[in-house]
Amino acid sequence: MSYVIFSEVTISLDQLLSMLLSFAGIVALVFLALLFYRMAAALKKVKDMLDEMALPLTQTVNQLPEIVKKTDQSLADVNVITESAAKNIPDILDEVTNVTGSVGATVETVADTTTNIVGTVNKLFSLGKKNRDKKATSGINFAGIVSKFKRVIGIISFLRKFKRKRQKSKSEKSKNKS
């Protein structure tokens, strides 16, 4: 014999929403408990790390006043050196410029003299030639010497230009200060 039993279960909408809300509350409490557990573990790690770093941090903080004093002393020394350099460097540069000008004039004179000597020697050798096809040669390369002096003269002219620019900038600075 077979019996068919039909039973009806009726759940009201109010009861269904209450059950769903209760289930959501339980899930939220579980997530909140996990969150608190992880936060407690992270805070424990931070506390352990701070405990390890407490002594080195304390030592470092205790050394700071001494470091600041040494830094102040060093900065005062640097300030004195900078002020001294600011006073002395223009005078030194003026002297260097004067010396380079004197050297330049001397080198120009030597170069002119050498050029005259080379010209005279070349004329002497060229006058002594009997054949126009053959060149008279000497053991001294006078053209090379002249080219070297020309290079030196070029360097001296560069230094003179530098001196003029520097003097112009000095005069402009003095005008700006006035």
Q: What is the pLDDT along the chain (178 residues), one digit of tens a residue?
A: 677 776 777 888 899 999 999 999 999 999 999 999 999 999 999 999 989 988 888 898 899 899 999 999 998 888 888 888 888 888 888 888 888 878 877 888 888 888 888 777 777 666 555 444 455 555 566 677 777 788 888 888 888 888 888 778 777 777 776 6
> Going along the chain, which residue ranges are E strands?
none
Provide CB contacts within 8 A for 175, sequence distance 6+.
none
- φ and ψ at 88, to 5 degrees? -90, -30
Write out the two tokens for 20: 């769903």
Residue 92 corresponds to which amino acid? I
What's the predicted TM-score (pTM) here?
Answer: 0.33
Write out the two tokens for 87: 């006073």
Provide CB contacts within 8 A for 146, sequence distance 6+.
111, 114, 115, 118
Q: How far apart, in whole angstroms, are the C-alpha atoms of residue 155 and residue 174?
A: 29
Give the residue carrying structure tokens 């077979």. 2
